[in-house]
Structure 1
Amino acid sequence: MNAEHRSRNMYLFLFVLVVVSTVAFQGWRILLNNFAVEEGGFSGLDMGIVQSVREVPGFLALLAVYLLLLVREHRLAALSVMILGAGVAAAGLFPSVWGIAATTLVMSFGFHYFETMNQSLTLQYFDKAETPLVLGRLRSVMALTNILVGGAVYVLARWMGFEELFALMGGVAVVGGLWALTRDPTSKNLPPQHKKMILRSRYWLFYVLTFLAGARRQIFVAFAVFLLVQKFQYSVQDIIVLFVCNNVINYFANPLIARAVNRFGERKVLSLEYLSLVAVFTAYAFTDSAWVAGGLYVADNIVFNFSMAIKTFYQKIADPRDIASGMAVGFTINHIAAVVVPFMGGLAWMADYRIVFLGAVVLSLASLVCVQFMDGQLRSLSRD
């Protein structure tokens, strides 16, 4: 099988799994906050607990490497999407804190293990120039899928309740995962992957940037939409409109970001991300405008796509046999802080919600400093 044919088969495989997993996960994201507030009567602390539980599987992503001793990467990707769908489908049945936490845990195991396999397969099957473009295209596909899901939920919410909507969105992922189990897009010509956890000192910058990104991102994921719902009284329909606007922009922006990574390099792209996030999170802390807060949510999502440069940086410095292990270890490092941050953020929220977003400013500044070492490391490895 030539390289082009091999890449095309893998792209189609990942394309389908990305679409169906996005349907389930985006449906869950759209519905969760309103479901939690309207049906579960959640406080900020309750939401922090659920979001902390959601990140436990990410912390355990390194176990995916050991699962590869039992099942091949592409099959683990398909099974993970089915588990993601099952968790989402069951979410509407249990409106209590611990019920939502339990279904979230199931969903999250599927989500994080699929993302680990998705990133690993992408970095293995596409070369260093193609990878940013493939990542950009798949993120555009996600954005388009998010738009369609938002529109579907907006319409269906008139006739269906939370329980039926969760079941429908999760069912799509289960069916897509079943399809993927019947496919084998892999090639035997690639370097075999290590099936154990690999930690190397030369990857230190990837580890640090991944850790900071995980902590900072969880502040956004756990509390940005919650702020819109609790403080600014956004309805389900308001959140859907916001998501659709965000994803329309992302659909066009992601290919441009991917080309920018190839043209300007990872350091410059990530520096722009972190500078932008300092401004965004500072504004979150002090705005009293519902319109401004919604605009900040869209801006944060656009800037988040720049983070693909962390993965392409790793691809450039990594031994090809370390890719699967590196993605699993990266997910675990990303979630070390992510398991704790939502809970601690929930406690801080009770004192003053501004503390939560100012903490994200500090993390963004730390990332900005660290990323300046990136070009030096690339030059050092090229000499070796």
Structure 2
Amino acid sequence: MSIKETACAKNCGAFVLEEYVEVNMIMIRKLLNNYSKDFLLFILCSIFIGIGMGINETTFNNFLDKTYSITPFMRGLTEFPREFPGFFVVLISFSVFHFLGDIRLAIIANMIAAVGMVGIGFFAPTYGILLIWLFIMSSGIHIYLPLTSSIGMSLSDGKKDGSVLGMFQGISTAATVMGCAVVWLGFRFFNFNYRITFSISAIALACAALIFMSMTRGTYQPRKTRVLLKKRYLLFYWLNILYGARKQVFLTFAPWVLIKIFKQDVEIFAVLGIIGAVTGMFFKPVLGKLIDLLGEKFILAAEAVILVFVCIGYGYAEKLGLGKYAIYLAFTCFIIDQMLMAVSMARATYIKKIAEEPGDISPTIAMGVSIDHVVAMTIPFIGGILWDQFGYEYVFLCAAVIAVINFFSVMRMQVPSETTKKVMFAQEEGMQLGDGST
């Protein structure tokens, strides 16, 4: 990639920021007029978390490469302590801390993540110690992940859940633009280093925890159930397993391809983050409305089809004879994949529609997160071996196969209408009453 092309890519971030500011101000004015205090506070929390995670995700892979000079196999191995909390810590948090409401658990989660980020930035002189701090940071992040959808849907006040979650994700993505902009401006003009970026991320997450303390709804509402594993939700669990596998291939190895194969630096990742986030700011609210309009089955099936082409395009961009334009195909696939991560909200609305009772939703989402991380712990390890032995192309070829399996799994979804669901549950309750009287 030439110096001119690199400069052009880096300057793209400056152009999209202007439109982002104008649209975001309009969005903020509408929110202040139409929504409750807790709703607005949760939006503010999402903004701080988006900034913190945007900075972290933009810099983490370059931080690993520059600080520890690890191999693709070691990069895959790094994901074990990063993803293990998704299986273990979420189970612990929803079992041991089930008496806490979503809000209190969110406070704890963000404080843990902030401590972990400080440790990575300042107290990780060796790769082994890094893994300890990475586990701590990831524990906080993964405790919070299933809470996002449950808190958002609890604040919807009867509005369409897909649209509300889409709006929350759109705002969070807009905040990610701020985080990416901090990285781009900091490394390009202000001589930033990784300690500074991890410090800013930690402060942002700590601010989110403090804001959660000001929220009232859910603070004194303990969970009625713990983590759930029910036969009724087996397809939901399976879809989460496939999502975890596909997600982990891109989170682990897509940035590594850009770093090792295409030799891209942290500023390029900041620009890609800005472009992806600005696109997502418009895309996610629209996606939420499409979920309400077209249904979860259609959206999840479309995602699977698109992912097949994204995986092949990303893995074989260098092999298609595109020359210097191969990097732009890789950039495009990188951004599309970022956008498709938002489709996870369709799984959240799907479980709400098939849930036997509202109390099942949050712990079932938590179980889905835990189960998908069982796969997420092993995929990077296998992917690292595939990369070392055969080349990175085969890693993404396997991801394409996973997308195909996901498509046929989604075809088995049956989402009942609200009327059908009420009739079905009324019949079940009637049968239970009849059994009790005999």
Shorter chain as normaliser: what TM range? Answer: over 0.9
Deviation at 1:70, TM superposition (A): 4.9
User: Any residues of structure 2 matched to 1:1-384 within 5 Å, and which?
Assistant: 8-60=36-88, 61-93=90-122, 94=124, 96-126=126-156, 130-157=160-187, 158-186=190-218, 193-288=223-318, 289-318=326-355, 319-351=357-389, 352-375=391-414, 384=424
Structure 2 distance, partners of 1:64, 1:187, is 16
Q: Secondary structure at the match of 2:215?
A: coil
Structure 2 distance, partners of 1:210, 1:270, is 12
Residues 207-258 of structure 1 deviation map (CA, whole Å, 9 limit, x = unaligned): 1111110111011111111111110011111111111111111111111111
Residues 233-242 or 68-77, more deviating: 68-77
Aligned-partner residue type, residue 98 of structure 1: G
Residues 39-86 of structure 1 deviation map (CA, whole Å, 9 limit, x = unaligned): 211111121111221111111212222233453321110121111122
Residues 291-345 of structure 1 deviation map (CA, whole Å, 9 limit, x = unaligned): 1101110111122222211110100011212122112111111211011111111
Are the equivalent residues in 2 in contact too, given 1:80–1:111 (CA < 8 A)?
yes
Deviation at 1:95, TM superposition (A): 5.0
Structure 2 distance, partners of 1:376, 1:136, is 19
Residues 201-210 or 173-182, more deviating: 173-182
Distance 1:31 1:238, change over 3 A: same
Structure 2 distance, partners of 1:92, 1:376, is 45
Structure 2 alignment gaps of length 5 or more: 1-32, 319-325, 425-438
Aligned-partner residue type, residue 337 of structure 2: D
Are the equivalent residues in 1 in contact too, given 2:153–2:165 (CA < 8 A)?
no
Count of aligned positions:
378
TM-score (norm 1): 0.92
Distance 1:308 1:239, change over 3 A: same
Residues 101-143 of structure 1 deviation map (CA, whole Å, 9 limit, x = unaligned): 2222111111111112222222334367521112111111121
Distance 1:378 1:102, change over 3 A: farther
Residues 269-311 of structure 1 deviation map (CA, whole Å, 9 limit, x = unaligned): 1111000000100111211111110111011112222221111
Query: Percent same amino acid at aligned positions?
Result: 25
Aligned-partner residue type, residue 47 of structure 2: V
Aligned-partner residue type, residue 280 of structure 2: N
Residues 135-157 of structure 1 deviation map (CA, whole Å, 9 limit, x = unaligned): 11111112111111111111222
Are the equivalent residues in 2 in contact too, given 1:82–1:175 (CA < 8 A)?
no
Are the equivalent residues in 1 in contact too, given 2:68–2:127 (CA < 8 A)?
yes
Structure 2 distance, partners of 1:377, 1:173, is 38
Are the equivalent residues in 2 in contact too, given 1:128–1:312 (CA < 8 A)?
no
Q: Please identify the structure whose Cα radius of gyration is greater.
A: 2
Q: Secondary structure at the match of 1:39?
A: helix
Structure 1 distance, partners of 2:269, 2:125, is 20
Structure 1 distance, partners of 2:421, 2:214, is 41
Report what 2:12 is aligned to: none
Q: Secondary structure at the match of 1:143?
A: helix
Structure 2 distance, partners of 1:233, 1:279, is 23
Q: Secondary structure at the match of 1:136?
A: helix
Residues 273-282 or 38-47, more deviating: 38-47
Structure 1 distance, partners of 2:297, 2:112, is 36
Structure 2 distance, partners of 1:200, 1:220, is 30
Structure 2 distance, partners of 1:161, 1:198, is 43
Are the equivalent residues in 2 in contact too, given 1:267–1:371 (CA < 8 A)?
yes
Give 4+ residue runs of structure 1 displaced > 4 Å after superposition: 376-383
Are the equivalent residues in 1 in contact too, given 2:82–2:138 (CA < 8 A)?
yes
Deviation at 1:382, TM superposition (A): 6.3
Are the equivalent residues in 2 in contact too, given 1:21–1:84 (CA < 8 A)?
no
TM-score (norm 2): 0.81
Residues 309-318 or 136-145, more deviating: 136-145
Are the equivalent residues in 2 in contact too, given 1:40–1:95 (CA < 8 A)?
no
Residues 161-184 of structure 1 deviation map (CA, whole Å, 9 limit, x = unaligned): 111221122122113312322432
RMSD: 2.2
Aligned-partner residue type, residue 18 of structure 1: S
